[in-house]
Amino acid sequence: MATSAQQIVTETGDAGALSHVAIIMDGNGRWATKHGKARAQGHRKGADAVREAIEGAVECGVQYLTLYAFSSENWNRPAEEVSDLMGLLKLYLQREIKTLHKQGIRLRIIGRRDRLSADIISMIDKAEEKTAANTRMTLVIALSYGSRDEIVAAMQKLAQAVAKGELSPEDINEARVSSALWTHDIPDPDLIIRTSGEQRLSNFLLWQAAYAEFSFPDILWPDFTKAEFKLAVEDFLGRNRRFGARP
Ligand code: IPE
Ligand code: IPE
Ligand code: MG
C-alpha cells in the first residue's frame, strides 16, 4: 500500500527522507488573464497560496520549505509590476511574520540583497533575527535570487581565499563550493515543485538540484492548496531515488 503524506506525519512525526521541498511559484499572470483580472491581482492571490504551501509543509513534517518569490531576471519586468511585487512582499512580511514566529518557523532569505530597497532589507533582517531560534521548520524565501549569481559570488569568495593564501586550488571540492553558496546551511532540495505547467528551473538552485526529484502539477500558483502539496509529497514518497548507484 502506498504511504500517504498524512501517515508519515502520524507515524514518525517527520517526513524522513523528505527534508527539503522547494517550490517555483509560477502562473500568477496566467491566472489573472484566465479570470479577466489585472496581473497584480494574480500576484495578490498568489501571496495567499503561500499560506497553503506553508501549512502543507508543516503538516507533512518537512524541515525546509524554499519558495522562489522573485528571480534575478524578474527585475527585467515592467517597473510597475516589479513595484507591485515588492509592495506585496512588504505587505506579506508585515502581515505574516508574527504568525510564522508563533508557529515556530524560522525565516531565511536568499538572494542579492543589494538590489532590494532599504526598507525591505531592514524588514527581512528583523524577521530573520526574530525567528532565528525557531526549530519547527525553516522557510527559505528566494528573493532577487538567481542561481548563477549565487555561483559567481561563491567562486569569488573561493578565489579571494586562494589569492590570500588561505586556500589552495586543489583543496576546492564539492563541500567547499556548497559551503560558499548562500544555501550553505540548508540541505539540498529533495523535491522541487513547479506549478503552471512550465518544466524548467529558471535559474533556481542549479547546483543544489543535482539529485532533486521534480513535480509539475498542472495548476496555476494562485490555485495551489495544501492538498496539492500533499499529493506531490505522496508521489515523491513512491519514487526510487538512486543517486547514480545500482537500484
Ligand atoms: C509567478 O507568476 C510570479 C513571479 C514570477 C514573480 P508569473 O508572474 O510568472 O505568472 P505567469 O508565468 O506570467 O503566468
Ligand atoms: C520563475 O518564474 C521565477 C519565479 C517563480 C519567482 P518566471 O515566470 O520568471 O520564469 P520564466 O520566465 O517563465 O522562465
Ligand atoms: Mg511565470
The Cα-based distances of 170 to 154, 162, 167 in angstroms read 16, 10, 8
pLDDT at 41: 98
Identify the burial level of 201 via C-beta atoms within 10 angstroms of its C-beta, where 0-12 means exposed, 13-18 middle and 19 or more buried. middle
Q: What is the pLDDT of residues 142-191, one digit of tens each?
A: 999 999 999 999 999 999 999 999 999 999 999 999 999 999 999 999 99
Is residue 76 flagged as an active site residue? no
Cell readout for 152 is 559567481
- CA–centroid distance, 72 to ligand 2, in Å, is 10
Domain holding 176, by residue range, is 20-237
Residue 35 domain-assigned (yes or no)? yes
Stretch 66-79: mean pLDDT: 98
- Name the percent of the chain lying above pLDDT 90: 92
Q: Is 84 a catalytic residue?
A: no
- Residue 242, domain member (yes or no): no
Does residue 195 register a pLDDT over 50? yes
Asked if residue 218 is part of any domain, the answer here is yes
Instruction: Pick the more confident residue, 101 or 246.
Output: 101
Which residue among 25, 26, 196 is best mutated to probe the pocket of ligand 1, counting the most ligand atoms within 8 A of its Cβ? Answer: 26
Could you tell me the pLDDT band of residue 1, with boundaries at 50, 70 and 90? Answer: very low
Number of structural domains found in the chain: 1
pLDDT in tens, 197-211: 999 999 999 999 999
- Per-residue confidence (pLDDT) for residue 231, from 0 to 100: 98
Q: Is residue 14 part of a domain?
A: no
CA neighbor of 207 nearest in space, from 172, 177, 235, 244:
177
Is there a domain that residue 4 lies in? no
In the prediction, which pLDDT does 17 show? 87
Phi, psi of 46 (to 5 degrees): -65, -35
- What is d(CA 219, CA 26) in angstroms, rounded to the nearest whole number? 9
Helices (H), 136-215: 147-163, 174-180
- Is residue 1 included in any domain, yes or no? no
pLDDT of 76-112, one tens digit each? 999 999 999 999 999 999 999 999 999 999 999 999 9
Residues in the chain, overall count:
247
104 CB-near residues (< 8 Å, 6+ apart):
134, 135, 136, 137
Q: Which residues have C-beta atoms less than 6 Å from ligand 1?
A: 25-30, 70, 74, 85, 196, 221
For ligand 1, atom 12, name the residue with the nearest CA: 27
Question: Is 246 domain-assigned?
Answer: no
CA-wise closest residue to 111 among 71, 54, 77 = 71
Residue 197 in contact with residue 218, Cβ under 8 Å?
yes
Strand partners, 145: 71
- Residue 95 domain flag: yes
Q: How confident is the model at residue 6 (pLDDT cuts 50, 70, 90)?
A: low
User: Which ligand neighbours the alpha carbon of 24 most closely?
Assistant: 2
CATH number at residue 26: 3.40.1180.10
